[in-house]
Amino acid sequence: MSQLLNLTTADFQLFWKFAYYTKFLFKSKIIVLCSIILFSCKEDDIYTDENGVTNLELSVTLTENPSGIAPLTAVINTSSTNSYHKVAITIKGKNDDDLHYEINHLKPSHRIPILGLYANHTNTIQFTAKNNLGKIISEKEFTVSTSPIGILNLPSIEILTANLAERFTLVEYRTITNKPFVFDLHGEIRWFLKFEESGIQPIVSNNSPIIFIGDKNKPKYYKYNWLGEVLNEITIPNSEMTTHHSQFTHPNGGDIIPIDTEDAIGSLICHFDESGNILKQWNMNEIVLNYLPENQDMMVIGKGWFHCNYARYDATDNSIILSGRRSIGVVKLDYNTGEIKWILGDPQKKWYQYQGLRDLALQPIGNTQLPLGQHSPIKLPNGNMLLLDNGWDGYDRKANEDGLINGGRQYSRLVEYTIDETAMTVTQVMQYGKEKGQELYSRVVGNTGYDLKVDSRYCLFGAIAYNPNSNNVPNTEGRIIEVDNFGNLLFDAKLNTQVSSSLFYRSEKIDFESIIK
């Protein structure tokens, strides 16, 4: 006791520090130990019982054709109060080409679209769910028996060349109603939407989970998912406006869409926000007048003289690229001012006679051939422009050249250009189709696209041997061509229909897995 009384103040302070930290360390160990126990218990409670058997709390159900208009689809729903899980889906293929999707988001519930079923077939769908440790917590196998689709009068599909490991191809097929469908590398139809209402015209956002749907009869447009369910119905504020031809999602939000009104047929382009309000608009009736004299006779208000069939935003310089099929060509506008930056078009058309427009013309270099009646000018990742040169004269072209018969050349081309905006020149770097002559001649419709994975370009020649003035049922043929960046053929599919007044309007190369994710 006397020794204890002889301790200094410093000694007491050291003693109490030792006691405090000993107590802290003891509590910390208890907390860590309890956390480990609780976590372990949670894992056991959620995923396994005391014998290590998989916990079957997870509810998994399948619903066929949930929208009623997409017969080759289904949806799998999973639900649990506490089991966070990821899922994998396999659709067994007929040709050792299973479709496999993985959804790696850990969630207590999932709604997984099942896309790519066969028609008139008993489809096998395998389902697996795993927890965050990779342990299988549920496995199921479903069968979905689908009906034949012959009654829909969908076209026949013949695969002529297939130098690809896989290809799913969407086609917007227009008859009295629209029948968009997807076929595989073997020509089997694996998806379609059954629209009953005329005027509906699907305009697909490339490989997006959302399908943009236009309506040429109402001031509305729609956004669907690939199950055929309406996600959003947008009413345009101006009741005179209807959508047509194309849609482009602006990187800052909203949609850029060509619009028709009574006074601006094919000449108006609008940037709408997500609610359908107009953020910006460009009226080619007004814009082109700024470059013409008062006595001009090229532009006619209330007529489809420009016929915009494509509009796309270029983020590199805040501009809009338009395709004016009938009278000018491809036109690039400043997004903010609407001023024309350049024109890619044939100089033997009437627009070239006017100095104000001629000063904006891109000059061809070397053996470059300029487009006629084009569709779908798109900017490639390398900065070049790809388009379908239909080879149709349009209005007021007076030319004397080989192959110019009945208002146009007798061939169509997929063509790639390099554009030098500083020098105001254009150089053709690749084309496919001219050498085929009338075999690929489609004076109307069609579109282009590219695939980054294989550095390829593709094109739909959508109305071969189409004659809208014939009293006989036309034998309309479509051809979908994909080539590498040198023009070598990778894929060639022929589509045939005997349905009167039908067209293959556009095509996209589809990746179901990226859509589902």
The pLDDT, as a whole number, for residue 395 is 63
Q: Which of 85-94, 358-367, 495-504 has the lowest mean pLDDT?
A: 495-504
pLDDT, residue 398, reads 61
Of 336 and 26, the one with more pLDDT: 336
Residue 476 has pLDDT above 70, yes or no: yes
Hey, do 59-145 and 207-283+296-355 end up sharing a CATH topology, with the first three levels equal?
no
| Whether pLDDT at 470 is above 80 | no
More reliable by pLDDT, 105 or 31:
105
Per-residue pLDDT at 19: 46
pLDDT at 39: 39
Q: Name the DSSP class of 336.
A: T
Q: Of 153-157, 173-177, 216-220, 398-402, which range is least confident?
A: 398-402
Whether 301 has a pLDDT exceeding 80, the answer reads no
pLDDT given for residue 298 in this prediction: 82
For residue 466, the model assigns a pLDDT of 62
**In this model, does residue 308 exceed pLDDT 50?**
yes
pLDDT at residue 15 is higher than 50:
no
The CATH code of domain 59-145 reads 2.60.40.10
The mean pLDDT value of the chain amounts to 86
At residue 472, does pLDDT exceed 70? no
**Is a pLDDT exceeding 70 seen at residue 505?**
yes
Determine which of 2-11, 143-152, 442-451 has the lowest per-residue pLDDT on average.
2-11
pLDDT digits (tens, 9 = 90+) for 144-201: 999 998 767 899 999 999 999 999 999 999 988 889 999 999 999 999 999 988 888 8
Measured between alpha carbons, how far is 83 from 133 in angstroms, rounded to an integer? 12
State mean pLDDT over 206-210: 87
pLDDT at position 82 is: 80
481's tokens: 């061509």
The DSSP-derived string for 384-451 is -EEEEE--B--SSB----TT-BTTB-S--EEEEEEEETTTTEEEEEEEESGGGGGGG--SS--EEEEE
At residue 341, the pLDDT reads: 98
pLDDT digits (tens, 9 = 90+) for 83-95: 899 999 999 999 9
pLDDT at 27 over 70: no
The better pLDDT of the pair 175, 451 is held by 451
Q: What is the pLDDT of residue 471?
A: 54
Let me know if 362 is exposed, middle or buried by CB neighbors in 10 A (0-12, 13-18, 19+).
buried
Phi, psi (rounded to 5 degrees) for 69 = -120, 10
Give the pLDDT confidence of 181-195 residue by residue, as tens digits.
999 999 999 999 999
pLDDT band at 497 (very low <50, low <70, confident <90, very high): confident
**Where do the structural domains in the chain lie, given as residue ranges?**
2-47, 59-145, 207-283+296-355
The SS3 assignment for 263 reads coil
Judged by average pLDDT, the poorest of 360-369, 404-413, 427-436, 503-512 is 404-413
What is the pLDDT confidence band of residue 327, given thresholds at 50, 70 and 90?
confident
Residue 44 clears pLDDT 60, i.e. is over it: no
User: Does the pLDDT of residue 24 top 80, yes or no?
Assistant: no
Angstrom distance (rounded) from CA 442 to CA 436: 12
Residue 76 near residue 61, CB atoms below 8 Å: yes
Q: Is the pLDDT of residue 7 over 70?
A: no
pLDDT of residue 109 exceeding 70, the answer is yes
The residue whose two tokens read 């005027």 is 199
CA dist list (Å): 226 to 69, 187, 212, 348: 10, 20, 10, 44
- Which pLDDT belongs to residue 153? 83
Mean pLDDT over 107-111 rounds to 94
Q: For position 13, what pLDDT does the model report? A: 53
In tens, the pLDDT along 131-148 reads 999 999 999 999 999 999
pLDDT of residue 75: 98
Nearest to 464 by CA among 439, 481, 482, 491: 439
User: What is the pLDDT, as a whole number, of residue 340?
Assistant: 98
State the pLDDT confidence band at 350, using cuts at 50, 70 and 90: confident
- The pLDDT score that the predictor gives to residue 83 is 83
pLDDT per residue as tens digits for the range 248-284: 999 999 999 999 998 888 899 999 999 999 999 999 9
Residues 6+ apart with CB under 8 A from 372: 346, 389, 390, 391, 392, 393, 394, 397, 408, 409
What is the homologous superfamily of the domain 207-283+296-355 according to CATH? YVTN repeat-like/Quinoprotein amine dehydrogenase (2.130.10.10)
